[in-house]
């Protein structure tokens, strides 16, 4: 009997060890899937296309083909990179002005979206829970209509003979049409209208989860509503502000449709320059170089900012 019990105990011990190993393997697989799937997505839809564009930027066109930048010739491996397009970017003031103009318009749009979107998100988060889904649906409703159609609608509203000018002249507010189309005003207005939901939704998601007892504690300690808002609500909504600002700023930098339809010749932006280089000048290496620099202008500061945040979080935990 003792031998049988010893054998059974050995089998149970082996089964227990196998179960523990299986649980650990499952946990490792789950963790790998959590970070592996997003990484595969980034590799397939960002890194790989970016490398193709980077290769084109260092190439030279031969008709409709590109020269190889690396390979084998006469039994030797060669790497031939053409830097002329990048040098030209630093020498031509037009490109520098375009980059600065794109960043300026994107920053202005982001600031206006934050100024409008924060009160909207705050109101939505403090509304009764029964009507919050309806408010979120109203914010998302513009997405149900074609983006291009919505931008064209602004052309009808802002034109010299458009709705706004006709109403103003009918009411006697203005004597002649005001120039609104093809100006920086129409460009910023179009981008604010288009990207405002991208600011409101992250802010709402952050504010709706905030513990309101913190505000009650601040008032009990003698803080005024305004002081409690600036000292409690705004700091706690920092992540929502950052997420919304990034979701607005990044696509605004490379925006093409809105500057093309609503902006004028004086509102140069990277998207329009890319279109001209690709399809008007047929200079793909130059266009690819402009695109690479634009991506690096956005990705490098974001990576540095993310590193600072991770360092601060690590220091806070320690």
CA dist., res. 194 & res. 113, Å (int): 10
pLDDT reported for residue 4: 52
* Tokens matching residue 204: 């709402």
* Tokens matching residue 132: 């919050």
Confidence of residue 10 (pLDDT cuts 50, 70, 90): low
pLDDT reported for residue 297: 85
Characterize the bridge pairing of strands 65-66 and 70-73: unpaired
Does residue 239 contact residue 255 with C-beta atoms inside 8 Å? Answer: no
Domains of the chain from N-terminus onward:
92-282 (1.10.3720.10)
Share of the chain above pLDDT 90, in %: 22
Tell me which H or E stretch contains 77: strand 76-79
Q: 65 in helix, strand or coil?
A: strand
CA dist., res. 111 & res. 133, Å (int): 26
pLDDT reported for residue 249: 93
Q: 172 in helix, strand or coil?
A: coil
Q: What is the DSSP letter of 252?
A: H
pLDDT reported for residue 80: 79
pLDDT one-digit tens code per residue, 202-261: 999 999 998 888 888 888 888 888 898 888 999 999 889 998 999 999 999 988 889 988
CA dist., res. 271 & res. 102, Å (int): 9
Q: What is the DSSP letter of 67?
A: -
Ranges of H-type helices in the chain: 2-42, 48-57, 84-91, 93-126, 132-140, 147-158, 163-170, 184-207, 213-220, 225-228, 234-236, 238-253, 257-261, 270-275, 284-317
Place of tokens 């031939």: 80
Average pLDDT, the chain: 84
pLDDT one-digit tens code per residue, 151-173: 889 988 998 888 888 888 888 88
Average pLDDT over residues 63-80: 72
């Amino acid at each position: 009997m003792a031998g049988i019990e010893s054998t059974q105990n050995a089998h149970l011990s082996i089964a227990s060890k196998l179960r523990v190993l299986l649980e650990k393997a499952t946990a490792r697989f789950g963790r790998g899937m959590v970070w592996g799937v997003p990484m595969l997505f980034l590799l397939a839809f960002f890194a790989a296309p970016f490398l193709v564009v980077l290769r084109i930027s260092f190439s030279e066109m031969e008709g409709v083909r590109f020269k190889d930048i690396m390979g084998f010739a006469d039994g030797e491996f060669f790497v031939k990179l053409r830097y002329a397009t990048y040098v030209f970017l630093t020498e031509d003031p037009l490109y520098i002005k375009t980059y600065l103009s794109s960043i300026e318009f994107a920053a202005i749009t982001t600031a206006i979206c934050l100024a409008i979107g924060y009160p909207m998100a705050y109101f939505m988060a403090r509304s009764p829970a029964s009507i919050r889904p309806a408010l979120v649906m109203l914010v998302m409703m513009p997405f149900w209509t074609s983006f291009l159609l919505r931008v064209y609608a602004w052309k009808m509203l802002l034109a010299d003979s458009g709705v706004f000018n006709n109403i103003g002249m009918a009411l006697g507010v203005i004597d002649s049409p005001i120039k609104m189309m093809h100006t920086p005003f129409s460009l910023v207005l179009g981008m604010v209208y288009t990207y405002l939901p991208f600011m409101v939704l992250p802010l709402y998601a952050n504010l709706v989860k905030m513990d309101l007892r913190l505000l009650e504690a601040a008032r009990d300690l003698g803080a005024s509503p305004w002081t409690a808002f600036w000292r409690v609500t705004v700091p706690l909504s920092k992540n929502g502000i950052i997420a919304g600002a990034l979701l607005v700023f990044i696509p605004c930098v490379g925006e093409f449709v809105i500057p093309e339809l609503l902006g004028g010749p004086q509102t140069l932006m990277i998207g329009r320059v890319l279109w001209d280089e690709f399809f008007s000048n047929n200079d793909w290496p130059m266009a690819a170089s402009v695109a690479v620099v634009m991506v690096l202008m956005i990705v490098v500061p974001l990576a540095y900012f993310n590193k600072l945040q991770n360092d601060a979080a690590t220091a806070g935990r320690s």
